[in-house]
Amino acid sequence: MHITVERSGGFIGVPMTRELDTTKVSQQQSIELETLLGAADFFNLKDALTQEPDRFQYSIKVKNHDQSHEIHVTETQMSDNLYALMEKTLELSA
């Protein structure tokens, strides 16, 4: 599985892109990511961008063997599971 997280906006407005190939992390971490992906119902999520000052905007793209999906979302519109997926991806790709 391949995860790309792009962050923009925030007061700082510093663009950031991180990519993660889950074959390069431990099996336990890979399972954790898969679990969060499922719990967040990622492949059925739609874009949810708002116009709130200085909040982070995320573009999250996930590609695995049989499907690919990308969403654009403001941090205030992310479920706890999606937020955790984003945080975990950033942590493992740092």
Please state the closest distance from residue 71 (CB atom) to Zn ion, in A. 24
From residue 51, alpha-carbon distances to 1, 7, 48, 74, 83 in Å are 31, 15, 10, 8, 19
Instruction: Name the nearest CA neighbour of 3 among 47, 79, 67, 77.
Output: 67
The residue number whose beta carbon is nearest to Zn ion equals 54
Please state the closest distance from residue 64 (CB atom) to other proteins, in A. 24
Under the criterion CB under 5 A, does residue 54 sit at the interface with Zn ion? Answer: yes
**Residue 7 · residue 15 · CB < 8 Å:** yes
Which residues would be at the binding site for other proteins (CB under 8 A)? 6, 8-16, 48-57, 59, 72, 74, 76-77
Nearer to other proteins, 69 or 72 (CB): 72
Please state the closest distance from residue 54 (CB atom) to Zn ion, in A. 4
What backbone torsions phi and psi does residue 52 show, to the nearest 5 degrees?
-100, 130
Contacting residues toward Zn ion, per CB under 5 A: 53-54
